[in-house]
Amino acid sequence: MRIKRVDHVGIVVNDLTAVKDFFLELGLELKGEWEMEGDLMGYAIGLHDVKVRCVGLGTSDSQTWIELIQFLSPSNEQEVQKHAANTLGIRHIAITVEDIETVVAKLKSRGTELFSEIRQYKDVYKLCYVRGPEGIILELAEEMK
């Protein structure tokens, strides 16, 4: 048995529009929007009376897919937690960008929280961690040539 690929990453959000706009500004493409509900879906995730709105975002080559999910029912009205980068669990998504300085400047202008300024890792990458809407942490990386 072997894994063929990671199909997608699902992110549960309260403000679907804000998070979608954030990822679109980063350069991901809108791949689809849909609603789902019903017994089979609820059974699959262990909840009852499930209804969700979803947005699929991906890269132009369709190799990467992020699925944003807003639960209409049952909803979760808890406030978004701003976890530290070392909190246990899935904590960040790494995205390779072409021009990290431009991307970070754009994010700064819209008020995105930076963990630090851009740093160089050896002669391999320029890196910067940012916190997007709803506490989503991204590691931005530009490959150095």
Domain containing 22 equals: 9-73
Statement to judge: residues 22 and 64 lie in one domain: yes
**Alpha-carbon gap, residue 121 to 112, rounded angstroms:** 22
Asked if residue 62 is part of any domain, the answer here is yes
Statement to judge: residues 20 and 67 lie in one domain: yes
Question: CATH code at 114?
Answer: 3.10.180.10
6 CB-near residues (< 8 Å, 6+ apart): none
Statement to judge: residues 14 and 54 lie in one domain: yes
Total domain count, the chain: 2
Asked if residue 87 is part of any domain, the answer here is no
73 CB-near residues (< 8 Å, 6+ apart): 49, 50, 51
The reported pLDDT for the residue numbered 62 is 83
The reported pLDDT for the residue numbered 12 is 92
Asked if residue 17 is part of any domain, the answer here is yes
Q: List average pLDDT for each run of 10 residues in the chain, which is 145 residues long.
A: 84 95 94 88 78 94 91 81 85 92 94 92 94 93 92
> Hey, what's the torsion of the CAs at 88, 80, 82, 18, to 10 degrees?
110
What's the N-to-C CA distance of the chain in angstroms? 36
Helix (H, G, I), strand (E, B) or coil at 66: strand
Statement to judge: residues 104 and 65 lie in one domain: no
The reported pLDDT for the residue numbered 122 is 92
For 74-124, give the DSSP string: S---PPPP---TTSSS--EEEEE-S-HHHHHHHHHHTTPEESSS-EEETTT
Report residue 133 as tokens: 């809407």
